[in-house]
Each structure stands twice: as C-alpha cells, then as structure tokens.
C-alpha cells in the first residue's frame, strides 16, 4: 500500500483490529469495509481501538496525537534521523524500558543497549518476527541482527517514531506501527516468532490471556511464542510483593505469575510450553549489557548471567528466577 512506512508484503497482511477485514488506504486514513477508520501519521498506521479499555495511557496520547496531526504530518513526511547521538526519546525512556538499574543513566546513555535474543537464527529466508510492546525497538534490533524480518507494535506513537530513528541509526532493518497487543492487526499465520518483553507482565491476567491468544492466531503452524513474565517466587519478586502488602496490583504494576500457572496458560492457549530463566535479582538483568550499567549494578547483572547459565545444569533454579521466558510452540 502506497503511503505506508512498511514493506509491501507486510502492508498486505494488515487487517482491521476490530473485525479482521482487509484494510485499504486513502490519503491519511486506513479503512475496512465495515467503515472502521484508522489514521496514518507520517506513514505510520495508528491501528488502535479507542473504545477498548486502556492498558497504558500512551494509547490515549497516541490517539489524541493522530487527531491533532497536521496535513504535512499525515502525508509521506519523514523525520530527520539522528547523526550519532543517542536518541533523546531513548535517553528519557531507558529507565522505564530497561528497569530500575538503568534509572541513573537517564539522559546519560552513551550506547544503545541491544540485548541478546535467546532464539536460534531463522532456518529459512524471510522469517518474520513480531515484538508486542516494542517501545523504542531494542528487541526488534536484536531480532534483525539475528536475521529475522523484525516488526514491532506499540501503543505509543512517540515510541514507534523513536524505534524507526534508532533502527536507521544502527542500520538494522525493522518496521513498526502503533497497535495493541490484545488486538493484533495482522492476518492469521503471518509470523514465525511472536515475542514480548516486560509488557504482558504489566497486564491484568484477562488482558495477558487475550494477548497470548492473539499471538497464537498470528503465528504460523510450529511458530514460537517467546514471552517474558515475572515469576512469583523469585527473590526480588517476593520482596516487591511483600513491599506492597501482597495486595492486588493496579494500573501498570507488575502482575506475578506462578511457574506452573505460566506453563499451563501457555499450553492451553498456544501449545507445548516450557520456562527458561531470563534474570535473577531483577526483572531486566541482561548479563550482556552489564558493561553499560553503573558500576554498583554490574555485579547483579553478571551474577544473574551466571545463575542463568548454571540453570542449564540445575533446572530447579528456573523456579527461583525473577524473570522467565515462556516459550511455547503453536500446535
């Protein structure tokens, strides 16, 4: 579809998030045959459902931004790319996207923290990877470097714009649009991998379940769902649950799941599932990024990496991880 900032094949896979009908584009609007309209801002589709309950206020902000967009913004205009400096959006968002250990680096980043993706490289040409809640795109960058055709969705238009800027700066091919993980605007069986990091753990369980069901729908047969969640029994997790009095979480607070609950839910909604440890003592401890952290946190990230490696020989350690990957294969 002309006017979209997307690969032509990918653009043809877009469907209405309400009813799954085909979308057409005219000027600055996408529309399905039932008359549902979605704005396009700077070539970026805003495929949100305004009447859906909001999981994050960024969705409301994006809808309002689209309504206020000027004609020049809704045409094929393109933002200027940065020229070497760390993108200002990433500088400000790093504490929110990467966790508490990164808060001292807000406004002080010197390098983009691109994580290692714990997946095998694609086995065939043009395997598509979808990141739910991509923000500025760090996991899409990781997937793109591994050889996947990376696509990210997020409810924040500002985050998606930043993701495009960063991908361009780092010469990684990745594509982004504004959409909700609970209403994925793609056809059935589009992606080989659907991944999400530090997103569904913030959803109410009914919303997380819906997002996982949507992940299954857009996966090809045998495709992989690769979703990070917070484990109820991790040391840090227990501390934080105790600190809030073991009350029910509200708003965008973390929801903690039990390991058996995670596996059972993934197997019910997607297919055969297992847990892999992601981090200990933190929900965002990536050993590969330890050198970028303030010195006082580097030992935490490295200890987490050590325990993660040790868990391959002592599987019981996975049950004590604070952050786990739920890996399920569509059957």
- pLDDT tens digit sequence for 267-296: 999 999 999 999 999 988 899 999 999 999
Q: What is the pTM of this model?
A: 0.95
List the beta bridge partners of residue 273. Answer: 328
Summarised one tens digit per residue, pLDDT across range 44-61 is 999 999 999 999 999 999
β-pairing, 24-26 with 273-279? unpaired
Residues 6+ apart with CB under 8 A from 120: none
70: confidence class by pLDDT, cuts 50, 70, 90: low
Per-residue pLDDT tens digits for 122-142: 988 889 999 999 999 999 999
255/238 Cα distance (integer angstroms): 12
Q: How far apart are CA 88 and CA 70, in angstroms?
A: 23
Domain boundaries along the sequence of the chain: 8-74, 88-329
- The C-alpha atoms of residue 262 and residue 228 are separated, in whole angstroms, by 10
Residue 83 pLDDT greater than 80, yes or no: no
Exposure string (b/e) for 265-289, b if CB count within 10 Å is 16 or more? bbbebbbebbbbbbbbbbbbbbbeb
pLDDT (0 to 100) of residue 81: 46
Domain 88-329 annotated CATH 3.40.50.150: yes
pLDDT, average across residues 245-263: 97
**Is residue 186 predicted with pLDDT exceeding 70?**
yes
Alpha carbons 64 and 45: distance in angstroms, whole number: 14
């Amino acid at each position: 579809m002309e006017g979209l900032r997307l690969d032509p094949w990918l653009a043809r896979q877009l469907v209405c998030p309400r009813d799954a009908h085909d979308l057409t584009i005219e000027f600055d609007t996408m529309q399905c045959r039932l008359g549902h309209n979605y704005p396009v801002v700077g070539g970026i589709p805003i495929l949100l459902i305004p009447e859906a309950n909001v999981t994050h206020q960024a969705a409301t902000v994006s809808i309002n931004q689209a309504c206020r967009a000027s004609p020049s913004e809704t045409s094929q205009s393109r933002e200027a790319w940065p020229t070497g400096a760390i993108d200002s959006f990433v500088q400000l968002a790093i504490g929110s996207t990467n966790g508490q250990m990164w808060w001292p680096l807000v406004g002080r980043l010197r390098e983009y923290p691109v994580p290692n993706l714990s997946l095998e490289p694609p086995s065939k040409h043009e395997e598509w990877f979808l990141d739910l809640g991509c923000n500025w795109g760090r996991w899409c960058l990781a997937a793109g470097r591994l050889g996947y055709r990376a696509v990210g969705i997020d409810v924040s238009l500002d985050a998606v714009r930043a993701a495009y800027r960063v991908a361009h700066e780092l010469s990684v091919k990745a594509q982004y649009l504004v959409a909700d993980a609970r209403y994925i605007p793609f056809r059935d069986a589009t992606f080989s991998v659907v991944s999400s990091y530090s997103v569904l753990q913030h959803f109410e369980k009914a919303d997380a379940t819906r997002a996982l069901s949507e992940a299954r729908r857009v996966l090809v047969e045998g495709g992989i769902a690769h979703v990070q969640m917070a484990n109820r029994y991790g040391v840090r997790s227990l501390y934080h649950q105790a600190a809030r009095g073991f009350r029910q979480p509200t708003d965008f607070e973390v929801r903690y799941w039990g390991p058996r609950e995670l596996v059972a839910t993934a197997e019910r909604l997607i297919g055969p599932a297992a847990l892999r440890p992601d981090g200990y003592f933190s929900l965002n401890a990536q050993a590969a990024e330890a050198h970028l952290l303030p010195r006082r946190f580097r030992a935490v990230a490295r200890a987490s990496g050590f325990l993660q490696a040790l868990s391959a020989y002592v599987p019981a350690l996975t049950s004590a991880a604070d952050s786990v990957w739920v890996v399920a294969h569509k059957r």
